[in-house]
Structure 1
Amino acid sequence: MIKLGVLDQVYVNEGQTATEGLQQSTRLAKATEDLGYTRYWVSEHHAMRALAFSSPEVLVAHLAAATSRIRVGSGGIMLPHYSAYKVAENFRLLEALHPGRIDLGLGRAPGGMPLATRALQQNKYVDVNKYPQQVLDIIGYLHDSIPVGHPFEKLMVAPSISTAPEIWLLGSSAESAKIAASLGTSYAFAEFFGTPGGEAATQHYNEHFEANSVLKDHQRSMIATLVICADTEEEANRLATSSDLLFLGIRTGLEIRFLPSVSTAVNYPYTEMDLQHIKQIRKSRVIGTPAQVKEQLLQMSKDYHVGEILLNSPIHDEKARIHSYKLIAEAFGMNVQRED
């Protein structure tokens, strides 16, 4: 059976504050841990009013402290903005605080509009082509294996510990899959972006994986997809209208400063072109009853050649969101303990 985890972008729900959104995510992390989900990842996006945070490493610390078993990680750190050494320090500290529970997902994308990227990279030269070397540097720092001749070969990364976070490379293109395969890291494909070529990307990773002598055999691949589940197909589609409107805004350049309520989404004055956009958006969504969702996720696991899927469920109503994860957990026979 495939493993299921959570990808949380921590939306600010219409009518609520960012603080309330973060509190909801904390409750969701606790609930999905009790439901038997394996991972809880949070993303990195900058200067987006609809999202409650921009610093995944800080939120990972909070969520890991609020839980006790589920793996918690970044999905991901946008590495070209940062020093590999500083990222290694942050995540080694997280690993020391929560041994065996921290994931370090890394990405190449800017995670925001050009103005935010300029601010993040102010007074520094950034070459995205150096991303693979940055990843190798992080592996070296976290595993005390910086090669001889490296300018920082004698540099210590505090704290000194015997374990290290799992390292995942994230992507929505074949290029990231090629880098992950060549470096010997785990790989996650952002299926919910709707970018074509995901099946070929994961297949390339699986077929061309080269074991890393430091990481040993860490060949793992998974996808992240948007899933909304309810007791009836009609209710699932109703709940999905919130994300329909949000992603319509992203696609058309209209900034929506919150995750809309179902009422707002249903009553929005859509144009014919808007409806065509939503129809296209829905093609990369899993929406339905527990049986329908299970069938689609199992098929996606086969199509993408992955054994794990992260579920991103932007549902405005908190109880309905937790219930969605509970229904899926029950459908897959996971260790369901309670529902908040």
Structure 2
Amino acid sequence: MIKLGVLDQVYVSEGRTATDGLYEATKLAQETEKLGYARFWVSEHHSMRALAFSSPEVLIAHLAAATSSIRVGSGGIMLPHYSAYKVAENFRLLEALHPGRIDLGLGRAPGGMPLATRALQQDKYVDINKYPQQVLDIVGYFHDKLPAGHPFEKLIASPVIPTAPEVWLLGSSGESARIAAMLGTSYAFAEFFGTPGGEEATHYYNTHFEPNEALEDKPRSMIATLAICAETEEEADRLARSADLLFLGIRTGLEMPYLPSVQTATDYPYTEMDRLHIQQIRQRRVIGTPAQVKEQLLRMGESYNVSEILINTPIHDPEARIRSYELIAKEFGMTGK
């Protein structure tokens, strides 16, 4: 059976605050741990009013401390903004605090608009082509195996510990799959972005994987998708309207300052073009009853040839959101605590 996890972007819901959103994320991590979900990942985005945070490493520390067994990680750290050494130090510390529970997902994307990128990279020259070397440097720091002749060969990423976080490369393109296969890391495809070519990307990764003695000896891939589940099709469709309007704003450049309520989304004055956009967006969504959601997730897992799926569920009502994960867990026969 396919393994399921959680991807939480920690939205600020309409009528609530960022603090509320962070509280809801903590409760969701605790509840999904009880249900038997394998991972709980948080993303990195900057200068977006609808999101309650922009620093995944800080939030990971909080979420890992609030749970006891679920793996907690980044989906992901946008590495070109940062020093590989500092990222290695941060995540080694997290691993020392929570051994065997920390995942480091890495991405090449900016995670925000150009102005945020300029601020993050102020007075710094960034060469995106150095991304593969940055990844290898992090692996070297994690395992105290920087190659001979490396300029930082004798440098230690504290604390020195016997375990290391899992390293995943994230992407929504074939290029990220190529780099992950070449470096021998695990690979996660952002299916919920709606970018075509995901099946080809994961196939390339699985067939061109080169083992890394410090990491993986065989390919390991997963996808992240958006799924909303309820007892009836009608209720699932109703709950999904909030995400429809949120992602419509992202697509059309009219960014929402929050995750809208179902009522706001229902009352919104959609144009015919808006409805066409939503229809297209819905083609990449898993929405329905438990049986329908299970069927679609299993079909996606087979199509992408992955053994793990992270589920992102932007529902305005926090209790309905937890219920969605409960229904999916029950349908898959998951056994938690």
TM-score when normalising by structure 2: 0.99
Cα distance between partner residues in 2 of 1:78 and 1:319: 31
- Within 5 Å, give how 1:1-340 maps onto structure 2: 1-217=1-217, 219-336=219-336
Structure 1 moving runs of 4+ over 6 Å: none
5+ residue gaps, structure 2, are: none
Cα distance between partner residues in 1 of 2:167 and 2:305: 19
Q: Identity, % of aligned pairs?
A: 78
Aligned to 1:300, what secondary structure does the other structure show? helix
8 Å contact kept, 2:209–2:218: no
Aligned to 1:61, what secondary structure does the other structure show? helix
Aligned to 1:235, what secondary structure does the other structure show? helix
Aligned to 1:6, what secondary structure does the other structure show? strand
Cα distance between partner residues in 1 of 2:215 and 2:21: 36
Post-superposition shift, 1:255? 1.6
One-letter code of the match for 1:28? L
8 Å contact kept, 1:290–1:328: yes
Post-superposition shift, 1:214? 1.9
8 Å contact kept, 1:326–1:336: no
8 Å contact kept, 1:42–1:76: yes
Aligned to 1:323, what secondary structure does the other structure show? helix
One-letter code of the match for 1:265? A
Cα distance between partner residues in 2 of 1:334 and 1:138: 34
8 Å contact kept, 2:225–2:311: yes
Cα distance between partner residues in 2 of 1:71 and 1:9: 16
5+ residue gaps, structure 1, are: none
8 Å contact kept, 2:167–2:186: yes
Cα distance between partner residues in 2 of 1:155 and 1:209: 29
8 Å contact kept, 1:95–1:164: yes
One-letter code of the match for 1:128? I
TM-score when normalising by structure 1: 0.98
- The two structures, once aligned, show a CA RMSD in angstroms of 0.6
One-letter code of the match for 2:310? L
8 Å contact kept, 1:185–1:218: no
Cα distance between partner residues in 2 of 1:112 and 1:61: 23
Aligned to 2:231, what secondary structure does the other structure show? coil
Query: Which string of whole-angstrom CA distances, capped at 9 and with x for unpartnered residues, describes residues 21-66 of structure 1?
Result: 0000000000000000000000000000000000000000000000
Post-superposition shift, 1:253? 0.3
Post-superposition shift, 1:219? 2.1
Cα distance between partner residues in 1 of 2:335 and 2:213: 35
Cα distance between partner residues in 2 of 1:255 and 1:215: 39
Cα distance between partner residues in 2 of 1:330 and 1:141: 40
One-letter code of the match for 1:213? E
Distance of aligned partners of 1:277 and 1:216 in 2 relative to their CA distance in 1, 3 Å threshold? closer
